[in-house]
Structure 1
Amino acid sequence: MPKLPRIFHVTERALWEAAHERGTYEMSTRGRTLVEEGFIHFSTREQLPRVAELLYGDYAGPDELVVLVVDPARVGVPVKYEAVRPGGEEFPHVYGPVPVDAVVDVEPWG
């Protein structure tokens, strides 16, 4: 079975630390939870700078931003590459909570 490429998610350090304590990460995107959105937004390494700028370009929060590096083979829920518009660029979406042990690295952002 081929190794799946890592997927990436930008978040606030405090949100990651709270998830680490809980055992699962459940924020979909800036200000929206998995329950609200239905999935967690991720990106490929190549998409990451554009996504981070779109979501956090105006960020002036108290916490630093980090990038969660996730092994999709370890999430235990569906990971689907989907486009916002038909025929558009596809982004990875995780359809459930991300177990903290699926996060293989946490990188600083910015």
Structure 2
Amino acid sequence: MILHICGAAAWAEVSEGGEYRDPSLDEVGFIHCSDFGTVNLPANIRFRGRTDLVLLEIDPAKVDAPVRWEDGLPPHPEGIWFPHVYGPIPHAAVVGVHEFPESEGGGFRLPDSLARR
């Protein structure tokens, strides 16, 4: 499974048979994703202070577009690679939606609903 961070309202707009299109798809040609161990990295850089976030849990086998593991944008200093989805994500590929609030002390961490796996 891979994870994508988005606003709850953006996900709510996707109909049952529809597709999710993050603005990055038009901007850089793919949708940024993470895995369970790295999702806190982009969250803590790009989403501090946001209170409306959810994590989309995506089954890459159900995505009709290429999923490639690559350097981040910009590349991570420790050489960590991230999954990038080169097309829209079908609603059916999203197997879970998890609230993604900042921790009380600040910063993001994997929600308990995913950490227990």
- Length-normalised TM-score, structure 2: 0.76
Cα distance, 1:22 vs. partner? 6.9
Give the structure 2 partner of residue 34 of structure 1: 25
Cα distance, 1:54 vs. partner? 1.2
Cα 1:33–1:22, aligned 2, differ >3 Å: closer, same or farther?
A: farther
Match of 1:9 among 4, 9, 29: 4
Write the mapping of 1:1-110 to structure 2, written as runs, cut at 5 A.
Answer: 6-20=1-15, 23-27=18-22, 32-59=23-50, 64-84=52-72, 85=75, 88-110=79-101
Moved over 6 A (4+): none
SS of structure 2 residue aligned to 1:33: helix
Q: How far apart, CA to CA, are the structure 2 residues paired with 1:11 and 1:39?
A: 14
Q: How far apart, CA to CA, are the structure 2 residues paired with 1:74 and 1:21?
A: 14
- Structure 2: 5+ residue runs without aligned partners? 102-117
Q: How far apart, CA to CA, are the structure 2 residues paired with 1:67 and 1:78?
A: 20
Q: How far apart, CA to CA, are the structure 2 residues paired with 1:33 and 1:73?
A: 21
CA RMSD of aligned residues (A): 1.9
Q: What per-residue deviation string (whole Å, max 9, x for no partner) do you get for residues 14-61 of structure 1?
A: 00011236710110xxxx33112200000011001122111111326x
Identity %: 39
SS of structure 1 residue aligned to 2:14: helix
Equivalent residue letter for 2:67: V
1 or 2, which has the higher strand percentage? 1
8 Å Cα contact 2:16-2:92 kept in structure 1: no
